[in-house]
Structure 1
Amino acid sequence: MSQKLKQDIPQEAFDWYDAYAHGGMDRRSFMTKLGTLVAVGYSMSVLTAALLPNYALAEQVSFNDDDIKATYEAFNSPLGHGKCQGYLVTPQNKVGPLPVVLVIHENRGLNPYVKDVARRLAKAGFLAFAPDALFPLGGYPGNDDEGRAMQRTLERPKIEHDFVAAAKYLKSHPKSNGKLGAVGFCFGGYMVNYLAAVESDLLLAGVPFYGTPAAQDLRKNIKASLLIQLGELDERVNKSWPKYEKDLKKYKVPYEMHMYKNAHHGFHNDSTGRFDKESADLAWQRTLDFFAKKLT
Structure 2
Amino acid sequence: MIEFRTADGQAGKAFEIKSSTPSDKYLLVIHEWWGLNDYIKQEAARFARELPGVNVIALDLYDGQVAADAEQAGKLMQGVKTERAQSIIRGALRYAGPKAQVASIGWCFGGGWSMQTALLAGSQAKACVAYYGMPEKDVAKLKTLNTDVLFVFAQQDKWINQEVVDQFKKDMAAAKKGLTVKAYDADHAFANPSNPKYSKTFAEDAHAASVAYLKKNLKLK
Tell me the CA shift for residue 192 of structure 1.
1.3
Structure 2 residue runs of 5 or longer lacking an equivalent are none
Q: Is 2:195 aligned against 1:272?
A: yes
In structure 2, do the counterparts of structure 1 residues 249 and 201 end up closer, same or farther at CA, with 3 Å as the change threshold?
same
CA deviation vs aligned residue, 1:197-237 (integer Å, no higher than 9, x gap) = 34531411000000111241422211212111111111310
Q: Note if 1:191 corresponds to 2:120.
A: no
Deviations 1:110-165 (A, max 9, x none): 12221111010111123210111222xxx134624434423433322221221232
- Is residue 3 of structure 2 the alignment partner of residue 74 of structure 1? yes
1:87 aligns with 2:11: no
Residue 104 of structure 1 contacts residue 191 of structure 1 at CA under 8 Å; is this kept in 2? yes
Q: CA RMSD in A?
A: 2.1
Q: Which has the higher helix share?
A: 1
Distance 1:292 1:265, change over 3 A: same
Q: How many residues align?
A: 214
Question: How big is the shift at 1:90?
Answer: 2.7
SS in 2 for 1:235: coil
Partner residue, 2:149: 226
Q: Are 2:119 and 2:125, in contact at CA under 8 Å, matched by a contact in 1?
A: no
Q: TM-score, normalised by structure 1?
A: 0.67
Deviates most, 152-161 or 182-191: 152-161
Rg larger in 1 or in 2? Answer: 1
- 1:1-296 aligned at under 5 Å gives the runs 72-79=1-8, 82-91=10-19, 94-97=20-23, 99-124=25-50, 125=52, 126-135=54-63, 139-141=64-66, 143-144=68-69, 145-170=71-96, 172=97, 178-216=100-138, 217-238=140-161, 239-260=163-184, 262-295=185-218, 296=220
Would the alpha carbon gap of residues 112 and 148 (structure 1) be closer, same or farther in structure 2, given more than 3 Å must change?
A: farther
Q: Distance in 2 between matches of 1:210 and 1:147?
A: 17
Partner SS, residue 134 of structure 2? coil
The answer on whether the counterparts of 2:129 and 2:210 sit within 8 Å (CA) in structure 1 is: yes
Contact kept in structure 2, 1:76 and 1:82, CA below 8 Å: yes
Q: Percent identity?
A: 23
Cα distance in structure 2, aligned partners of 1:168 and 1:206:
18
Hey, what's the Cα distance between the residues in 1 that align with 2:67 and 2:117? 27
